[in-house]
Amino acid sequence: MSPPPEADLTRAAAALGVALRAQQWRLATAESSTGGLIGHAITATPGASDYYAGGVICYSNRAKEVGLGVPHELIDAHGAVSEEVAAAMATGAAIQFEVEVGVSVTGIAGPDGGSEGKPVGTHYVGVAVRGHPARVEHHLLAHDRDGNRAAAALAALSLALGEVATASIAG
């Protein structure tokens, strides 16, 4: 399977924008391994400022703690690349930017940095919708560094779209 092209990211981000506008919601991002790809895809759509508040590129553990309020103890206990940290990042983005939806991604893009328990390609994407617990998905991607980053960004956008659409139906 090939990594997603940038056009796929842009389309997913635009669809998320339509869903956010329909709810009159705003979104913030917390990106580690994707280094801003999600924010880049979102801002490719004219008028994204209607629903995109901004984001934090929190590549280091310290940035996750300072920029998003992720507890140091949580990172120590589970590692920066974990379900727990992805959930805290998404929640932290929503809180810090005072928006309805926070989206996060943390992972090991490669080519180095993996371990037996968390190989290269391991990613966690999370979404926190105000009033609901964060939802996190685990992905094991098998592309090169750029492909893993793009696939993780697309997974995060897709998860966010699904959560916003579900909230719309339930709301």
- Has this prediction a pTM greater than 0.75? yes
Encoded tokens for 43: 């801002």
Q: Residue 111: what pLDDT?
A: 96
Say if CB 62 and CB 76 are below 8 A apart: no
Q: Residue 54: what pLDDT?
A: 98
Encoded tokens for 70: 């992720």
Q: What is the pLDDT of residues 58-72, one digit of tens each?
A: 999 999 999 999 999
Q: Which positions of the chain have pLDDT values less than 70?
A: 170-171
Q: Residue 137: what pLDDT?
A: 98
Q: Which residues, at least 6 apart from 37, have a Cβ–Cβ distance to it below 8 Å?
A: 9, 31, 149, 150, 153
- DSSP 8-state code for residue 130: T
Q: Where are the alpha helices (DSSP H) in 44-125?
A: 61-68, 72-78, 83-97
Q: Residue 167: what pLDDT?
A: 82
| CATH level 2 (architecture), domain 6-170 | Alpha-Beta Complex (3.90)
| Crossing angle of helices 6-23 and 145-170, rounded to 10° | 20
Q: Residue 171: what pLDDT?
A: 56
Percent of the chain with pLDDT over 90: 95
CB atoms within 10 A of CB 72: 11
Q: What is the pLDDT of residues 78-108, one digit of tens each?
A: 999 999 999 999 999 999 999 999 999 999 9
